[in-house]
Amino acid sequence: MRALAALSRFVGNTFAYWVLLYAVLAFLFPSWFIGLRILIVPLLGLVMFGMGLTLKLDDFSEVMHHPWRVALGVIAHFVIMPGMAWLLCQLFHLPPEIALGVILVGCCPSGTSSSVMTWLAKGDLALSVAISALTTLLAPLLTPALIWLLAAAWLPVSFLEMFWSILQLVILPIVLGVIAQRLLRERVQFVVDVLPLVSVISIVMIVCAVVAVSQAKIAESGLLIMAVVILHNSFGYLLGYYTGKLFKLPLAQRKSLSLEIGMQNSGLGAALASAHFSPLAAVPSALFSVWHNISGALLSTYFRKMEPEVMVAEDKPVVR
């Protein structure tokens, strides 16, 4: 059991490498992975169920202690990422299905690995978890509403169908996970210990399925989509960090905002695109999943080395 838990920690810490490795394999040998497409929705549900197993009431204590910081993170997330997605689609004159896919991933809640990156970056973990949880719980309303508002110019979007999809894909599994945790308590601890392994395998399989199904389209326009994905993710980090700076948040909170805003639940984006649009619309989410785990690991390493500013007020040092 300890060996399995240790393996789970190792795989969780090397998440980015596994996603990148298998994305390349799926591109080179799509026939190996194309059958996984039927598992996209169940796999995302499994990841969300695992998230529910780890959620506790204490995770929302930050909302009570510093509600304005959490509100700032949630509002900034649902303004910056959808807004940047729409702007990039306009600047690059993206084809309709790709544009919809970029906007779709931009309208998703915070990424499932953003809290891990925040912890590695020595950010404010409580703030990160609260923002992740609230953006996820608000996703059934805000994600389809924003997609309808921003993407309807490219392709028809059904708010109601996406609302029900997100309830089934996200909220229902999370609620079941929370109930299981409350009923079984310590008996689920072993499951929690191996959750990083389960989550990594699930996300890797989702990415492989999307890449395999869309291999020809990626070969044709993959560089353009990748450039947009990198810009989208980078501006999310940058604007998230400077939003915290604008509101004079301490360094740890600025790190949290940067990572929470820049990292998206790209698994949800891929599942929604596959269910409601086309495999091509899922490609930006798949590439985002590959890229943001690499960039998040690099940024958290950089953030970890940053020293908090020390401001002198009268005769007492104040750490920010």
* Residue ranges with strand state E in the chain: 310-313, 316-319
Q: Which residues contact 18 (CB under 8 A, 6 or more apart)?
A: 11, 200, 204
Tell me the per-residue pLDDT of 214-262, one tens digit each, with 9 for 90 and over.
788 778 777 898 999 999 999 999 999 999 999 999 999 999 999 999 9
Where does the pLDDT of residue 283 fall: very low under 50, low under 70, confident under 90, or very high at 90 and above? confident
Contact 1, 190 (CB under 8 A): yes
Q: Full-prediction pTM beyond 0.85?
A: no
Q: Kindly report, residue by residue over 178-203, the tens digit of the pLDDT.
A: 888 777 777 777 677 777 777 778 87
Q: What is the pLDDT of residue 83?
A: 95
Let me know the angle formed at the C-alpha of 201 by 127 and 131, rounded to the nearest 5 degrees: 15
SS3 316: strand
Res 314: pLDDT? 46
Per-residue pLDDT band at 1 (split at 50, 70, 90)? low
Question: 151-159 contacts: CB < 8 A, separation 24 or more?
Answer: 151/99, 151/100, 151/103, 151/104, 154/89, 154/96, 154/97, 154/99, 154/100, 154/103, 155/96, 155/97, 155/100, 155/277, 157/100, 158/276
For the stretch 22-52, pLDDT in tens is 888 988 898 888 888 888 778 878 877 877 7
Task: Examine the pLDDT at 309 and tell me if it is beyond 70.
Answer: no
Question: What's the average model confidence in pLDDT over 278-294?
Answer: 84
What burial class does residue 68 get, using C-beta atoms within 10 Å of its C-beta: 0-12 exposed, 13-18 middle, 19+ buried? exposed
The pLDDT value given to residue 61: 67
Angle at 108 between CA 7 and CA 23, to 5 degrees: 45
Q: What CA–CA distance (Å, rounded) separates 264 from 81? A: 9
Q: What is the pLDDT of residue 123?
A: 86
What CA–CA distance (Å, rounded) separates 35 from 24?
A: 17
Q: Average pLDDT over the chain, rounded to whole?
A: 83
Rounded-to-integer distance, Cα 22 and Cα 233, Å: 21
Residue 310: is it exposed, middle or buried by C-beta count within 10 angstroms (0-12/13-18/19+)?
exposed
Please spell the DSSP secondary structure of 134-173, one letter per residue.
HHHHHHHHHHHHHHHHHHTTTS---HHHHHHHHIIIIIHH
pLDDT digits (tens, 9 = 90+) for 164-181: 888 887 788 888 888 887
Ordered by where they begin, the domains of the chain are 2-305 (1.20.1530.20)
Q: Is the CB of residue 257 less than 8 Å from the CB of residue 72?
A: yes
Q: What span, in angstroms and rounded, lies between the C-alpha atoms of 270 and 132?
A: 18
> How many CA atoms lie within 13 Å of 194's alpha carbon, on the beta-carbon side?
11
Tokens of 214: 């869309």
Angle between helices 40-54 and 195-213 (to 10 degrees): 160
Q: Contact, 293 vs 16, CB < 8 A?
A: yes
pLDDT reported for residue 256: 92
